[in-house]
Amino acid sequence: MADSFPASAAKPQPNAVPTGLLVVCFALLCINASFFPTAYVSGGWIWDETGRGIPTDFVNVWAAGKLALQGHPALAWDWDVQRAIELDLLKQDFPGYFAWHYPPPFLFVAALLAQFPYTVAFIGWLAVSFVPYLAVMRAIVGRAFGFLLAAGLPVVFSNTLVGQNGFLTAALVGGTLYLLPVRPVLAGICLGFLTYKPQYGLLFPIVLIAAGRWTTFAAAGVTAVALAGISTVAFGLESWQAFLHWMPHFSQAFLTEGKATWWKLQSIFSLVRYCGGSEAIAWAFQWVLTAAVAVVLVMMWRSPVRYSLKAAALAVGTLLTTPYLFMYDMMVMAVAAAFLVRVGLKDGFRTHELAALGCAILLPVTFILFGIPVGLAANLIVAGIILRRAGPWWRREPAGAPVAVAA
């Protein structure tokens, strides 16, 4: 059965939000909302108690933007030049590098943010990117509970702590999937903007081709080419040359040498390396998983499975198929969770489904507190819930499988 988007979002839903889900999300929201003002005042976020900047990921965005504003955009990819700008800003040293490795179009965002003082840019970036994320989550869930679900997830904490781009990524992935059935051109535009994250560029084209979504495919391509052209005019061909020159260095540092430390990455590739496996074995696991996910998604998107499950599967699939996955990238899992909640609120949650979804949602707390890489486990749990919901398709069962409605 296919979902009707977005018209069905306006229809009254028959089931109330389960009390346990409501309470947990509200409690998590209170933690997220109270921690950061307190941490900022006490010197635990953005600036420390001595007034020096705390080294976090956002510093590379601000530094890259500053170089672009100074007329040297190509130097944003030079690790040593970037680091000098970052040290001057933070007024303290830090191990390693916060390197800039995004394609040139994302320099527009960096340059805009670098026009503001660091604190304003940091908080402003999070606040502005949070708005479309909230809107997309509300639209997917189909009721106001979507706001609470979006704001309460523990991955929101991880993304906010380091000033990363997880909110924007989730908004673009969620916007693409929500708009795809009814606004294919807008969906393609969202997907075109997502090219600032090249690691998400594998599954979407495959699925769009398999499902015959040519309008969205073309709109995404046009948008991506337009962004590349505009960025070339704005920042010069040298910016693309620098991006392409530094990408092998970046890959070598993070995927071969483990400069970011393996526990920070959440892919099957990094988990194998974290457990002591060689790079060759890690790549073997990664490519087998990637191939399996791609095959399942092609079959699913060509099947009569309801659209919400297809969308949830593609969202979590993008996380399973990239070796380069930090916890803030796990914001995309929120999109998959939102589609599953949409289905559950409409048809009722199946036995143990809420418990499994809650486990996946809360697993990042383990990472936050103890530094244990649990992202793969969380993604596999969500994938399992989706496949169980799609049982009539992949197990060839009768479509009318019983559903247990949670109170």
| Sequence spans of domains, the chain | 7-43+54-394
Question: Could you tell me if 232 and 104 are in contact, meaning their C-beta atoms sit under 8 angstroms apart?
Answer: yes
Q: What is the DSSP string of 374-403?
A: -HHHHHHHHHHHHHHHTHHHHS---S----
Give the CA-trace dihedral at 278, 283, 288, 291, to 10 degrees: 170
The CA distance from 133 to 362, in Å, is 19
The CA distance from 327 to 34, in Å, is 21
From the number of C-beta atoms within 10 Å of its C-beta (0-12, 13-18, 19+), residue 117 rates as exposed
The CA distance from 340 to 149, in Å, is 12
Give the CA-trace dihedral at 26, 338, 360, 307, to 10 degrees: 160
Which amino acid makes up residue 307?
Y
pLDDT for 254: 87
For tokens 């900022």, what's the residue?
A: 40
- Residue 261 — left, alpha, or beta (φ > 0 → left; ψ -120 to 50 → alpha)? left
Cα distances from 292 to residues 101, 113, 380, 382, in angstroms, run: 28, 40, 13, 16
Question: Could you tell me if 161 and 123 are in contact, meaning their C-beta atoms sit under 8 angstroms apart?
Answer: no
pLDDT for 405: 33
Which amino acid makes up residue 187?
A
Q: Which two tokens stand for residue 194?
A: 């997502």
Return the bridge partners of 265, or none. Answer: 326
Residue 379: partners with Cβ closer than 8 Å, 6 or more residues away = 266, 316, 319, 320, 330, 333, 360
pLDDT for 402: 40
For tokens 């969500």, what's the residue?
A: 382
pLDDT for 3: 60
Q: Which two tokens stand for residue 78?
A: 């030079």
User: What are the pLDDT tens digits along the chain (407 aa)?
Assistant: 446 555 444 444 457 899 999 999 999 999 999 999 999 999 999 999 999 999 999 999 999 999 999 999 999 999 999 999 999 999 999 988 899 999 999 999 999 999 999 999 999 999 999 999 999 999 999 999 999 999 999 999 999 999 999 999 999 999 999 999 999 999 999 999 999 999 888 899 999 999 999 999 999 999 999 999 999 999 999 999 999 999 998 888 888 888 888 999 999 999 999 999 999 999 999 999 999 999 999 999 999 999 999 999 999 999 999 999 999 999 999 999 999 999 999 999 998 999 999 999 999 999 999 989 999 999 999 999 999 999 877 666 554 444 433 32
Question: Which segments of 142-213 does DSSP mark as H helices, in order?
Answer: 145-152, 154-162, 166-179, 184-193, 203-211
**Residue 181 burial (CB count, 10 A):** 18
Return the bridge partners of 53, or none. Answer: 47
pTM, whole model, 2 decimals? 0.92
The CA distance from 339 to 309, in Å, is 7
**Residue 321 burial (CB count, 10 A):** 24
**For residue 204, which of 293, 105, 101, 330 has the smallest C-alpha distance?**
293
Angle between helices 333-347 and 145-152 (to 10 degrees): 150
pLDDT for 8: 44
Q: How far from the centroid of its chain's Cα atoms is residue 84's Cα?
A: 29
